[in-house]
Structures are given as C-alpha cells and as structure tokens.
C-alpha cells in the first residue's frame, strides 16, 4: 500500500491529536512532580514512553510517499515509491512475534474466567502494616485487619504472573494457582484484567511493524481497565474521583463481573487484530 503525500499527513496528525489528549494530564503532573496512583501505572509499569506512543507508524507494508520524517527513523528504508519499514526489522523481531503470537492464540482459545473480583490487589497488601503498602499516601478502605478478612473470606484464583509476583509472602500460598513466567502461555485467560491491559504491551512491542492506531486502541482499553482495577482495590481513592467497587459485597461483585465481561469482550477484538498482525508478520519473516 502506498500512501500519497496528501494522505499520510492527515493520519499522522490525527494520531498526534489523539495521543496528546490521552497523555497530556500525565505530562503535566510529571512536570509538576505529582504522582497519580491510577493513571501513572501506564507509564511506570509499562516501558513505552509518551513520546514513543505519540510517534506514528503506518505498519509493515505501507509506503509513505514524499519526504516523511520516517526516513530518518531507525528501521525505515527509502525505496522507489517512498519510505517504509525495512525487512531487517521483521527478521530482528521474529522471535518476539512468535512468542506474542503463541501467547495471544493460547489466551484466545480459553473461556473467560470472570469471578476473581480483583482480589490480586488485596493480596498485594495482605498482612501488611502501615509503611509496607505500595500506595501509602492513600488509606485502605477497610483498614489492615478488614482487608485481611476479605482475603481470608475468598478463594483467590489469580492466573497472571505479573500480578501474582507482587503478592505478599503470606498471600501467595492462598492462591489456587502458582503462575510463573514459563507458565504464562498455559495459564493466561481472556477474562483477566491484567491480560487485557497487557494487550497494550504486546502491541507496542511490535512497533513499528503494526499500525500505531492499534497500539493506541490497546492503550485506551488498558487505561479504562486500570481504573476498574483500582476502584475494586482495597484503597480509598474517592478523593481522586474514583468511587469504589466494593467487591466485598454482593452488589460490588455483580458490578465487577459485569464490567470485567465487557472488558473481556473488547479485549477479544483487539487480541484478534493483534493476532492477525502476528500472522502477517510471521509470514513476512519467512525467507
């Protein structure tokens, strides 16, 4: 596909405007030295910088006619019709593409489990004392003893290693599963909030081979999921405008599951799009 000189600038401009609206508040807080326990996660836990998210890539196989800035970017080559991602990038990322493809396909093959109630966040503060909590600036809604009681009253079934690894030592034996990095393709399931957020990670790890519009779609989903993740957590974030989803109650559990199912549905669409890109990239990598 060749994008003419009067075509690709509009897509690039639309991408810049979209990303600026999404990251503007974070950049302002960063300049002011203020932290945010919900929104900063997308820029501290994940390694993609706002400036990287803002850079627009059309994806493998798209040629930009004229003199796009991409001509000076790593991985791009100039050919007769214009500038495009070079074949060396495909070969360099082949192993990543293969791993992501396998993980996404395995996750998509499983039914969504939506009964975890976000207890991973509670397990991260189980049997802690003041001074041991990650978001120490924000109180626990039920206090330490009340938080511990919620954990002890529920079965924890966290399948996501990057959530499980932050469990306290006391909480780990209470988890039905024992996730490891090696078991990630075996245990990952599409109802998991963290698996939904991580679609953003897999999308940006394939940059510049996939369209930036797909990366931002995954980012927007991750941002919304993160809000539910923290609203259902044991922290009291009402002063920041986040009313709690009280998963310790029947009503809260119902609300959590409804929203979790909706996110799983949206995540399935992005996962399918990413899988299609992985299939295309895998074929392109074959000599």
pLDDT digits (tens, 9 = 90+) for 131-185: 776 667 899 999 999 999 999 999 999 999 999 999 999 999 999 999 999 999 9
**What pLDDT score was predicted for residue 287?**
65
Tally of domains in the chain: 1
**What pLDDT score was predicted for residue 66?**
93
**What pLDDT score was predicted for residue 136?**
73
DSSP string, the chain: -EE-TTTHHHHHHHHHHHHHHHHHHHHHHHHHT---TTTTHHHHTS---HHHHHS----TT-EE-S--GGGGSTTEEEETTEEEE-HHHHHHTHHHHHHHHHHHHHHHTSPPP---TTHHHHHTSTT--TT--TTTTS-BTTHHHHHHHHHHTS-B----HHHHTTS-TTTGGGBS----STTHHHH--TT-HHHHHHHHHHHHHTTTSS-HHHHHHHHHHHHHHHHHHHHTSSB--GGGT-----TTSHHHHHHHHHHHHHHHHHHHHHHHHHHHHHHHHHHHH--
Q: pLDDT of 218-242, one tens digit each?
A: 999 999 999 999 999 999 999 999 9
Give me the mean pLDDT over the 27-46 stretch: 94
Q: In terms of residue numbers, what domain contains 249?
A: 2-285
């Amino acid at each position: 596909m060749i994008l003419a000189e009067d075509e690709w600038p509009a897509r690039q401009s639309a991408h810049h405007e979209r990303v600026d609206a999404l990251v503007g508040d974070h950049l302002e807080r960063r300049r002011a030295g203020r932290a945010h326990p919900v929104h900063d996660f997308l820029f501290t836990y994940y390694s993609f910088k706002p400036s990287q998210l803002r850079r627009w890539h059309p994806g493998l196989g798209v040629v930009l006619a004229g003199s796009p800035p991409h001509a000076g970017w790593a991985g791009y080559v100039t050919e007769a019709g214009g500038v495009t991602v070079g074949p060396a990038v495909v070969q360099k990322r082949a192993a990543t593409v293969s791993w992501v493809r396998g993980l996404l396909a395995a996750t998509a093959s499983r039914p969504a489990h939506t009964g975890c109630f976000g207890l991973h966040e509670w397990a991260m503060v189980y049997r802690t004392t003041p001074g041991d909590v990650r978001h120490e600036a924000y109180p626990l809604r039920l206090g330490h003893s009340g938080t511990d009681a919620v954990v002890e009253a529920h079965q924890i079934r966290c399948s996501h290693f990057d959530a499980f690894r932050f469990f306290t030592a006391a909480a780990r034996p209470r988890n039905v599963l024992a996730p490891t990095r090696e078991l990630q393709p075996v245990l990952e399931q599409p109802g998991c909030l963290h698996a939904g957020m991580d679609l953003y990670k897999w999308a940006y790890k394939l940059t510049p081979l996939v369209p930036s519009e797909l990366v931002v779609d995954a980012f927007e989903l991750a941002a919304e999921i993160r809000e539910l993740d923290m609203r259902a957590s044991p922290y009291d974030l009402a002063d920041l405008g986040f009313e709690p989803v009280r998963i310790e109650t029947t009503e809260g559990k119902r609300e959590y599951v409804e929203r979790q199912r909706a996110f799983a549905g949206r995540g399935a669409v992005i996962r399918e799009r990413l899988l299609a890109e992985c299939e295309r990239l895998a074929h392109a990598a074959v000599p």
